Amino acid sequence: MKTVQSAFKFHGGVHPQYNKDLAASKPIEAMPLPKQLVVSMSQHLGAPAKCLVKKGDAVAKGQLIGERNGFISANVHAPVAGTVAAVEPRMGPTGGWVDAVILDVAEDQSGASAFMPPLDWKSASREDLLARVNDAGICGMGGAGFPTVVKLSPPPDKHCEYLILNGAECEPYLTSDYRTMLERADRIRAGVEIMRKILNGPAVRIAVEANKPDAIAALEKAFADIEGNVEIVVLPVLYPQGSEKHQIYATVKRIVPEGALPIAVGCVVENVGTVAAIADAVEKGIPLIERVTTVSGDGVVEPKNVRAPVGTRYADLVAFCGGEKEGVRKVISGGPMMGFNVPNLEIPTTKTTSGLLFFTSARVFQYSSNACINCGRCVRAAQKMDVMDCIECGACSFGCPAYRDITQNCRRAKASIRAAAAAAKAKAAAANAKK
Amino acid sequence: MLPKQTAERYILSSSPHAHADASTSRIMLDVIIALLPALCCGVYFFGLRALILTGTCIAACLVTEGLCRLAMKRENTIGDLSAVVTGLLLALNLPPDLPVWMAAVGGVFAIGFAKQVFGGLGYNPFNPALSARAFMLISFTGAMTTWSSSAWTLSAGSTEAVTTATPLALIKKGAEGFDWSQAALIKDLFIGNVNGCIGEVSALALLIGAVYLLVRKVITWHIPVAFIGTVFLYAMFKGGVPPLVHVLSGGCVIGACFMATDYVTSPITAKGKLIFGCGCGLITMLIRTAPTGAYPEGVSFSILIMNALTPLINRFTQPKPFGKVKK
């Protein structure tokens, strides 16, 4: 095991104000259970899970309540013991309405939990470990929520040469991954050993931005005696260093082709929080039912890193952090660069809620866009990509002196290209049906 | 049935929710700040007249900008300061003895005919200040090439010619017997104690401004270095007048650092900027050294010609997409 500096710099990048000091020094704190949880069936990328419970059902902590429904999908479990009050559509952080299990939290949580039996990763088979990752409903906790079991099952013609742990956490304000690396480095190590076994022994690269020296030290300690090809790669502080494709370039200098997944160049990238969750799922049998969320911003009384069950409403989360201050104008689920602006606090956390930020008017920029002056800051800030490969990192809009909605326009372009493709497909299908 | 949606308490907008706090007006303000040393030198060498001409140009530009926007029924854009920059740049490129009314006509032309007629900031194909200067050079040829108020009294060679000509005019004339490599000349050129336009004479003041723009990341090094480097190399290989004299004379420094770097009319990528800068330098020297040409100076025309090529350069210097598969 050794620590190296990243030798490869991707094109562009920007330097937002990090403001991580608001919450960086706050140890992860578990919050008391709220009275009710709103457990969404769509906490991951892909098809929503199929709901297995109905109104009035009593559920145990860890019980499967939503079943993986398709190749790209994931299981959902009851985060606590309780009674199903309703199954109805609720608004998620992206504004869409999806089915959610409204769970009245039982006052007595001492009953038996429905966890899975612990596994010893050394003696368990590859297949059993992979099945566990699937059963536990693990998905990428960095933000996108890609089902982990899919990442860990490369197609037969592909081999994973590098397992890259994403600990960059390049979004401003967010410190949940940082605190996880600091406090749960041993769990991350256990997760790495399990994933290495599943992936048939790839080399491991742990990517951390240089502004987290104590997290690097904690990882160095936890990984000190690990065998095999394992390196901690210290990345320069640069947004979007946490982007999968950028990070693959920065750590192993490989370029993921347009439209392809990292496995095309022999890489699997997984967020550090997800890796710790895998360790808990295998060694303790705990499905993914809680996560660490950074509650921060100048509009929250006491910024904190909170461990809360998934499905905790934002209102309950912020109440645990002393409530919101006067004059909050914007609430962001996630980080300020890529997060979603939410209209109210009824929205629940999911497996991917890395942060909840409250900004007062002082921090909210209101703007109207002016004429483009051709300055080229967007081109310098962002890696040029085919628009369908755009990761919506926001670096282009971030520096635009004319405040143009460049990122939003990329989203519009993607949506209209997808819509046009779907329309063409439908037209072809209709033509076939006529014949 | 969908449950009733709770009221929207917060502002909704798309990400990113953070911004670098850059703005068009701040960039323009930086350019104005960067031009102040050159303006001060102009006032120092040519007197209060320089200040009057500058004020006239800026006022003419602002009034024209406001009136045009009014006539076009578009939002007022005086606040973005781009008209101030145009007025200032135009003034710095005028001879100090120009009649005030001519300067005002130039300002009106720059904003009305070179900028707003195309739709305003961001849409003009040619640099507005340089377009106006070219227009004035043709319309007021005499006044635009008269230099009499300078204190330049270099006592070497044919001193008679010196007092009423710019160094580049002397070069064009072939001023025989003039010692081009004397240290005093280089020093005068560097400080700005020569005949020339209000803001172009002092290379020192312009370079201070250019360094400010580089530090503030308003401009990148590519265009100035390519422009000046090409002028230097061309002069070096041509022989005769020392390359440093060519670089420090006329509008080379102000053109390379402040006019050719205009965002709207120059290429976007580093490669495009290098091509653009080299093209400017090359055309400048071709005009300056052409034995048959009438103009001793070619900076303005070189930049305008390259402005015309900017869309083409942008087209051919598009960055390669990350992850693009070679076919």
Query: Burial level of B308, CB count in 10 A (0-12/13-18/19+)?
Result: exposed
Specify the CATH number for the domain of residue A244.
Answer: 3.40.50.11540
Residue B161: the pLDDT is: 42
- Asked if residue A183 belongs to a domain, the reply is yes
Average pLDDT over residues A310-333: 94
What is residue B294's three-state secondary structure?
A: coil
Asked if residue B158 has pLDDT above 50, the reply is no
| Closest among A336, A287, A279, A284 to A310, alpha carbons compared | A287
What does the pLDDT look like over B2-38, one tens digit per residue?
334 444 578 888 889 888 888 999 999 999 999 999 9
Closest Cβ opposite residue A408 in set B14, B21, B268: B14
Minimum mean pLDDT among A388-392, B58-62, B208-212, B266-270: which range?
A388-392
Specify the CATH number for the domain of residue A86.
Answer: 3.10.20.600
What does the pLDDT look like over B259-295, one tens digit per residue?
999 999 999 999 999 999 999 999 999 999 887 777 8
| Closest among B161, B233, B213, B166 to B193, alpha carbons compared | B166
Substitution target in A253, A300, A374 with the highest count of B β-carbons within 10 Å is A374
Residue A390: the pLDDT is: 86
Amino acid letter, A220:
E
Domain edges within chain B: 24-144, 173-315
What does the pLDDT look like over A199-257, one tens digit per residue?
998 999 999 999 999 999 999 999 999 999 999 999 999 999 989 989 999 999 999 98
The residue ranking higher by pLDDT, A333 or A7, is: A333
Q: Are A168 and A207 within 8 A, CB to CB?
A: yes
- Nearest Cα of chain A lies from the Cα of B232 at a distance, in angstroms, of 27
Check the CA dihedral A36-A39-A40-A43 and report its sign. Answer: positive
Q: Contact A339/B319, CB-based, under 8 Å?
A: no
- Nearest Cα of chain A lies from the Cα of B119 at a distance, in angstroms, of 10
Whether residue A408 sits in one domain with residue A317:
no
Q: Are A213 and A235 within 8 A, CB to CB?
A: no
> pLDDT band at A366, cuts 50/70/90?
low
Q: Is A63 in CB contact (< 8 Å) with chain B?
A: no
Whether residue A57 sits in one domain with residue A6:
no
Q: Are B127 and B109 within 8 A, CB to CB?
A: no
- Residue A142 and residue A76: Cα distance in Å, rounded? 18
Whether residue A239 sits in one domain with residue A218:
yes
> pLDDT band at A42, cuts 50/70/90?
very high
Half-sphere CA count of A37, side-chain side, radius 13 A: 28
Instruction: Please give the residue range of the domain that contains residue A407.
Output: 369-435
Whether residue A314 sits in one domain with residue A210:
no
Whether residue A191 sits in one domain with residue A316:
no
Q: Is A100 in CB contact (< 8 Å) with chain B?
A: no
Tokens representing B150?
């300078």
Which residue has 């401009």 as its token pair? Answer: B219
CA distance to A402, B32, B58, per residue, from B212 (Å)? 22, 11, 22
Residue A364: the pLDDT is: 74
Q: Is A373 in CB contact (< 8 Å) with chain B?
A: yes
Closest Cβ opposite residue A401 in set B7, B24, B119: B24
Q: Is B122 in CB contact (< 8 Å) with chain A?
A: yes
Q: What mean pLDDT, rounded, does chain A reach?
A: 92
Average pLDDT over residues B79-92: 96
Which residue has 């606090």 as its token pair? Answer: A345
Q: What is the 3-state secondary structure (H, E, C) of chain A?
A: CEEEECCCCCCCCECCCCCHHHCCCCCCEECCCCCEEEEECCCCCCCCCEECCCCCCEECCCCEEEECCCCCCCCEECCCCEEEEEEEEEECCCCCEEEEEEEEECCCCCCCCCCCCCCCCCCCCHHHHHHHHHHCCCECCCCCCCEHHHHCCCCCCCCCCEEEEEECCCCCCCCHHHHHHHHCHHHHHHHHHHHHHHCCCCEEEEEEECCCHHHHHHHHHHCCCCCCCEEEEEECCCECCCCHHHHHHHHHCCCCCCCCCHHHHCEEEEEHHHHHHHHHHHHCCCCCCEEEEEEECCCECCCEEEEEECCCEHHHHHHHCCCECCCEEEEEECCCCCCEEECCCCCECCCCCCEEEEEEHHHCCCCCCCCCCCCCHHHHHCCCCCHHHCCCCCHHHHCCCCCCCHHHHHHHHHHHHHHHHHHHHHHHHHHHHHC
Chain B residues within 8 A of A340 when measuring between CB atoms:
15
Peptide bond into B16 cis (omega under 30): yes
Listed in sequence order, the residues at least 6 apart from A423 whose beta carbon sits closer than 8 Å to its beta carbon are: none
Residue A73: the pLDDT is: 93
Asked if residue B162 has pLDDT above 70, the reply is no
Residue ranges of alpha helices (H) inside chain B are 24-46, 48-72, 82-92, 100-108, 114, 128-139, 141-144, 159-162, 167-173, 183-191, 203-215, 222-238, 243-248, 252-254, 270-289, 299-316
Q: Are B262 and B110 within 8 A, CB to CB?
A: no
Chain A residues within 8 A of B20 when measuring between CB atoms:
14, 16, 398-399
Peptide bond into B319 cis (omega under 30): no
Residue B151: the pLDDT is: 56
Whether residue A150 sits in one domain with residue A35:
no
Residue B194: the pLDDT is: 83
- ipTM of the complex in this document: 0.85
Amino acid letter, A239:
Y
Tokens representing A417?
């290209």
| Local structure of residue B113 (DSSP, 8 states) | I
Whether residue A220 sits in one domain with residue A131:
yes
List all residues of chain A from 241 to 270 with a beta carbon under 8 Å from chain B: 245, 255-258, 260
Q: Contact B20/A398, CB-based, under 8 Å?
A: yes
Residue B160: the pLDDT is: 46
Which residue has 């109440």 as its token pair? Answer: A319
Q: Are B270 and B228 within 8 A, CB to CB?
A: no
Tokens representing B39?
């303006």
Minimum mean pLDDT among A163-177, A365-379, B142-156: which range?
B142-156
- Asked if residue A111 belongs to a domain, the reply is no
- Asked if residue A381 belongs to a domain, the reply is yes
| Local structure of residue B111 (DSSP, 8 states) | I
- Nearest Cα of chain A lies from the Cα of B192 at a distance, in angstroms, of 31
List all residues of chain A from 284 to 323 with a beta carbon under 8 Å from chain B: none
Whether residue A241 sits in one domain with residue A339:
no
Average pLDDT over residues B156-175: 63
Domain boundary, last residue among A322, A347, A363:
A363
Chain A residues within 8 A of B260 when measuring between CB atoms:
none
Residue A327: the pLDDT is: 86
Q: How many CB pairs under 8 A join A and B?
A: 155
Average pLDDT over residues B286-308: 90
Which residue has 């500096």 as its token pair? Answer: A5
Asked if residue B157 has pLDDT above 60, the reply is no
Whether residue A139 sits in one domain with residue A38:
no
What does the pLDDT look like over B87-129, one tens digit per residue?
999 999 999 999 999 999 999 999 999 999 999 999 999 999 9
Number of domains observed in the structure of chain A: 3
Asked if residue A37 has pLDDT above 70, the reply is yes
Q: Is B74 in CB contact (< 8 Å) with chain A?
A: no
Domain boundary, last residue among A363, A386, A419:
A363
Whether residue A277 sits in one domain with residue A377:
no
Query: Burial level of B320, CB count in 10 A (0-12/13-18/19+)?
Result: exposed
What does the pLDDT look like over A113-141, one tens digit per residue?
889 999 999 999 999 999 999 999 999 99
- Residue B295 and residue B251: Cα distance in Å, rounded? 13
Whether residue A239 sits in one domain with residue A135:
yes
What is residue B154's three-state secondary structure?
A: coil
Half-sphere CA count of B220, side-chain side, radius 13 A: 19
Closest Cβ opposite residue A332 in set B6, B17, B263: B17
In chain A, what percentage of residues exceed pLDDT 90?
Answer: 74
Whether residue A245 sits in one domain with residue A196:
yes
Domain boundary, last residue among A259, A283, A307:
A283
Average pLDDT over residues B132-155: 79
Q: Is B15 in CB contact (< 8 Å) with chain A?
A: yes
- Residue A200 and residue A126: Cα distance in Å, rounded? 8
Q: Are A85 and A59 within 8 A, CB to CB?
A: no
